[in-house]
Amino acid sequence: MLTFSSTATHPNATPLGKDPYSHYFRVTRKHENTGFCMKNVTITMDEHLLKATRVAAAEAGLSVSKFVARAVSEALEPKPTQPAPYGISEQRRLMEQFLSGPRLDGLLDENGKAPSRDEANAR
Amino acid sequence: MKPTHARVFFDTNTFVYALTIQDTSKANRCADWLRAAGDHSAAYASLQVANEFINVLFRKFKTWSEDDVFSAADTIFMLSDHTVETNTIKLARTIRNITLYAWWDCIMLACAVEQRCSHFLSEDMAGNTSVLGMAIINPTAMEPEHVFS
């Protein structure tokens, strides 16, 4: 969902910046799946990087905005977890510690089911 | 052992089954899941899981000492590097709209999605479904080798 509002000049424009032909659009886009708003951000980069970004975005057929958002998304993707380089991983050690503790008897109901979420949150 | 992209969230009942002596089959299978995820440092939980585990044991299983309960829960806390924030609740509302699951289930699922988990292990919500790209699977009905091949 896109919502547009427009003013004749940028709200931060100085008097010298008045331009009868410029319009400033504030765009709010709701993500189709999550309903979350897409946020506008300002980023700073040097001129050479900006130029290279524009070229790369054009080559990818994307706007600079979408290109940067995609790059950030990819950077945040979980990296493949590597097995411990030697010996047992810290998490595996935790699991063994948990599993070597006392056992539970009588917690499952007559159908062999663990307590439900409601039971687990009951006072 | 190969690297994996899998990130597996363990619901409360998985920890309960792993320790039960009432059903050896479920206990062994859930223990296998915990070990496999631990081998890959790919196990996740949430504070809600730890709190439910503690509450269940306090309310229904009084033969353990408090030290026993908290010692077991410490493992779950160690897997719970996640904080419930406003965005978590917003995400839970979205999940509620999609799934109509009970509210506490939706919060649990939101915690898992925010931790970018690929799989959510729970006997209660399973049914070969997925939520926002995260597969919900019944740990007692599937072997961990399907995920950690």
Whether the CB of A120 is below 8 Å from some CB of chain B: the reply is yes
Question: Are B140 and B14 contacting, i.e. CB atoms less than 8 angstroms apart?
Answer: no
User: Least CA distance to B26: which residue of chain A?
Assistant: A112
Do the chains contact at B21 and A33, CB–CB below 8 Å?
no
More confident residue, B45 or A67: B45
Strands in B119-121's sheet, in edge-to-edge order, are B43-44, B8-10, B119-121, B134-137, B129-131
Predicted local distance difference test score (pLDDT) of residue A86: 53
Model pTM score:
0.69
CA distance linking residue A56 with residue A19, whole number of Å: 31
Residue B133 distance to chain A (closest CA, Å): 11
A87 falls in which pLDDT band (50, 70, 90)?
low
Do the chains contact at A119 and B60, CB–CB below 8 Å?
yes
User: Least CA distance to B117: which residue of chain A?
Assistant: A78
Q: pLDDT at residue A5 above 90?
A: no
Q: pLDDT at residue A19 above 70?
A: no
Q: Looking at beta carbons, which residues of chain B come within 8 Å of A32? A: none
CA distance linking residue B145 with residue B39, whole number of Å: 12
Residue closest to B129 by CA, chosen among B139, B142, B120, B140: B120
Other beta carbons less than 10 A from residue A25's beta carbon: 8
Whether the CB of A87 is below 8 Å from some CB of chain B: the reply is no
- Each residue's pLDDT tens digit, B104-114: 999 999 999 99
User: Least CA distance to A87: which residue of chain B?
Assistant: B39
Q: pLDDT at residue A95 above 90?
A: yes
Residue A7 distance to chain B (closest CA, Å): 31
